Structure 1
């Protein structure tokens, strides 16, 4: 079945800029339109038309970055007008094409799906050292002693610290998964620690040792610069939102840089952030699970949409698991990693959903 779905994806990709016809796809595949549509949704978790929409809009961001005329881009990707393209773009990314073009903001990638992905999953195809060296050439001041690098997770932290990738600067890991379990309005205080520990079924002591103690540089020292290294998936973005909210809560006055990257390729997009609205967004989204009222970077806007979707009992992952519960757990787990890379979930989150859904 995976081979069949990959053929469907390959045909769609070859015809992305053409007017889509489910009948033409079905004729090419030799099956009925209903069968093609049903099997695609079962294997990927989204409809064919949704896949095409997201791929076209994602690819159009490269044209915007190259300063092509928006109306030409709209017609290239099958929109009847610039207005129709702009509406679709803002719905997905939270900003207009013009705003994106002017500010070159980081977005969450929507790469071509590869159902035939290998056993070992995604692999970095660019070394971290090479990409970090490019950053050094652009901003040497971020490699000095008055800089704190906050990295998403212990593994990334250990690599950066042991290799001193960011020169003489300090390092701290954020070992959390803020996309799951309740949280509190105050961040990193006793109430926060107790709430998060309970959600993770950890003792307070273990939680302190795993999450709070490694952040001692952030909690105890002052820095002129803080550099945040978080991927563009939903898991990382909710962690990023929490750290940004804490910086506002603690009235941090220095400069903040966000280094965004995709997990399958370590190509860094660096953006200087202005603090001011992240704490209110944190309260709206993570505490109260509501849509934010402030404009955000597209990558965070997209992640919040996914976060709120995952709070529904019939979310996209639960539906996918229900349709594929005949698979062995190990195979289903592998498929979930392949199909939902933008979530960034780990084994723990997926296994909990599988056990809850497959009864």
Structure 2
């Protein structure tokens, strides 16, 4: 089945310019349009038209960065007008094409789906990329800098390579995309609530999450650099850290080093505090859409995060449609099919158990 779906993906990738035709795809594959649409959604967790939309819009970002006229981009990708393209663009990224062209900001990547993989697809060139960053902005590698890294594995990679100059670095070992949270962040109630959600003792939670962050709580830094990926998992963690910086009245400069999980190409952006604590409360406490404009990458992640709160979301549908698979194989497929969520095996195992228990 994956061979068949991958053939559909390859055809789509060759026909992303102009107007998409499901009938033409069906004729090429040799099945009815309905059957192609149904099987694509079943295998990938996304409708084929949504996949085409996201791929077109993501690819168009490079055209915007190169200074191409918005109207020309709209025509190139098969939109009936510049207005139609702009509406679609803003619905996905939270900003208009023109705004992103003027003030380029990180967005959540939407790479070509690959259901059949050979070998290790990760290419985390830490040393090379960090060396380039240091040559561009050496002050972010001095002793008055704290780097906060998303997760222990990223921290271990940086630690083993010893590539951060004189700066400090700590991991944020959380998964804020799941389980209840509270305000103030990192107080006793927060710790108890998060420990309960993870089915952990308070002592264990403090050891894993709080103790590594002690430099953040105890020391003064002129710069804080946040290393977080584009997916939902990372972005909800990022939102929590930014909200904490506002809560603690941090006055230094903040930079986001955003990267994709399947490659280590860093997009560095200076962030300005002032509204993230409100967004944290809206999104992670009240499960509401934010009331202010955000970085496109965080806007996209929040949209996905809130969609996952629905009982019949794309992941639960996928699990139900693949009830014949073992838990191990299902987790492997979910990680591959839903890269923009960034969930790990623990999050997926919990969801699988909930779905199969219902």
The corresponding residue for 1:123 is 122
Per the TM alignment, residue 329 of structure 1 is displaced from its structure 2 partner at its CA by 2.0
Per the TM alignment, residue 328 of structure 1 is displaced from its structure 2 partner at its CA by 2.1
The corresponding residue for 1:87 is 87
Q: TM-score, normalised by structure 1?
A: 0.98
In 2, Cα distance between the equivalents of 1:93 and 1:318?
25
Per the TM alignment, residue 261 of structure 1 is displaced from its structure 2 partner at its CA by 0.3
The corresponding residue for 1:316 is 314
In 2, Cα distance between the equivalents of 1:2 and 1:149?
40
1:2 aligns with 2:14: no
- Aligned equivalent of 2:276, options 265, 275, 278: 278
Helix, strand or coil: the match of 1:149?
strand
Aligned length: 357
The corresponding residue for 2:221 is 223
Per the TM alignment, residue 18 of structure 1 is displaced from its structure 2 partner at its CA by 2.8
In 1, Cα distance between the equivalents of 2:327 and 2:158?
34
Q: TM-score, normalised by structure 2?
A: 0.98
Report if aligned partners of 1:90, 1:96 keep a CA contact under 8 Å in 2. Answer: yes
- Aligned equivalent of 1:253, options 246, 251, 254: 251
The corresponding residue for 1:22 is 22
Deviations 1:97-125 (A, max 9, x none): 1111111100000000001024x66412x
- Aligned equivalent of 2:209, options 199, 208, 211: 211
Helix, strand or coil: the match of 1:338?
helix
The corresponding residue for 1:173 is 171
The corresponding residue for 1:55 is 55
The corresponding residue for 1:297 is 295
In 2, Cα distance between the equivalents of 1:201 and 1:337?
23
Which stretch shows the higher mean deviation, 317-326 or 50-59?
317-326
Helix, strand or coil: the match of 1:148?
strand
Output aligned runs, 1:71-82, within 5 Å.
71-82=71-82
The corresponding residue for 1:193 is 191
Report if aligned partners of 2:19, 2:79 keep a CA contact under 8 Å in 1. Answer: no
In 2, Cα distance between the equivalents of 1:25 and 1:340?
23
Per the TM alignment, residue 159 of structure 1 is displaced from its structure 2 partner at its CA by 2.0
Deviations 1:320-357 (A, max 9, x none): 11111122222211111111000000001101111111
1:44 aligns with 2:51: no
- Aligned equivalent of 2:354, options 345, 353, 356: 356
In 2, Cα distance between the equivalents of 1:99 and 1:340?
28
Deviations 1:158-208 (A, max 9, x none): 221332211000011000000000000210111111110111111100000
Gaps of 5+ in 2: none
Helix, strand or coil: the match of 1:272?
strand
Report if aligned partners of 1:149, 1:226 keep a CA contact under 8 Å in 2. Answer: yes
The corresponding residue for 1:341 is 339
In 1, Cα distance between the equivalents of 2:122 and 2:65?
26
Per the TM alignment, residue 127 of structure 1 is displaced from its structure 2 partner at its CA by 1.1
Report if aligned partners of 1:122, 1:263 keep a CA contact under 8 Å in 2. Answer: no
In 2, Cα distance between the equivalents of 1:36 and 1:135?
45
In 1, Cα distance between the equivalents of 2:74 and 2:121?
32
In 2, Cα distance between the equivalents of 1:9 and 1:358?
30
Gaps of 5+ in 1: none
Output aligned runs, 1:136-155, within 5 Å.
136-155=134-153
In 2, Cα distance between the equivalents of 1:45 and 1:162?
37
The corresponding residue for 2:236 is 238
